[in-house]
Amino acid sequence: MKKPATPKKASKTESSPWTRRVRGDFRAIGIIAKKKHPQGAAFAGEIAAWLEARRRRVLLDADVAAALGRPGLPRERIAARADMVIVLGGDGTLLSVARLVNPYRTPIMGVNLGSLGFLTETPADDLFPTLEEVFAGECLIEERILLSARLVRNRKAIAVHDVLNDVVINKAALARIIEMETVVNGKTVTTFKGDGLIVSTPTGSTAYSLAAGGPIVYPTIEAFILTP
């Protein structure tokens, strides 16, 4: 496990070592919406028109752009080129975008379109007033810890993923107890026996880890949660 560069989202929380005030000079704004959401494309069009009226350059997700009859970009290119990304949908959409923007440390603003969302905390009705505050430099950027997970076989990494919520180690299809040795910075911590282990970030403490009996941890605390 390690703490890679973290994605960021616009927030109005109080300042802390994990937050910094926005400068408001975002010129290129990416818009990514949950795929096939009935209101996603239409709302993205409203946001694009609002931003363009304020002389901001809009980078539309290819799926949204197709529905609006406008030019669009793959999500990977939006992550690389945008100064900030607005994510329309629920937590699943935001988590997928967080992986894309992580190498570029691009701020994310999550907008809830009616689904359950711990991360997409801006209600759709509040988006435009919140954007005014962001551009005026009146909001904070809050950083979150990520996990970097590697699957190693025969001393070779066959899969590498950066995740915002959690990494889950499961047993194979055959029902049996597995034994897992936990090592931190080269030192053995403990050995778990069970049918799996959840390694969670503070952000992910309200997700699968909580359902398995894990604790709720404040999002900006520097910690990882191990839940057997």
pLDDT digits (tens, 9 = 90+) for 17-67: 567 777 778 999 999 998 888 789 999 999 999 999 999 999 999 999 999
CB burial class (10 A; 0-12, 13-18, 19+) of residue 106? buried
**Segments making up each domain of the chain, as ranges:** 8-143, 165-227
Tell me the per-residue pLDDT of 66-77, one tens digit each, with 9 for 90 and over: 999 999 999 999
Residues 216 and 72: their CA atoms lie apart, in Å, by 39
In this predicted model, what pLDDT tens digit does every residue of 109-122 receive, in sequence order? 999 886 667 788 88
Is residue 171 scored above 80 in pLDDT?
A: no
Catalytic residue, candidates 91, 125, 126, 195: 91
The answer for residues whose C-beta is within 8 angstroms of residue 226's C-beta and 6 or more apart is: 182, 192, 197, 198, 199, 200
Q: From the DSSP assignment, how many helices (H) and strands (E) are in the chain?
A: 6, 15
Looking at the domain covering 8-143, what would its CATH class be?
alpha beta
Say what the pTM is: 0.83
Phi, psi angles (nearest 5°) of residue 45: -65, -40
Residue 91 is a catalytic residue: yes
CATH of 165-227, one of 2.60.200.30, 1.10.10.10, 2.30.30.60, 2.60.120.700: 2.60.200.30
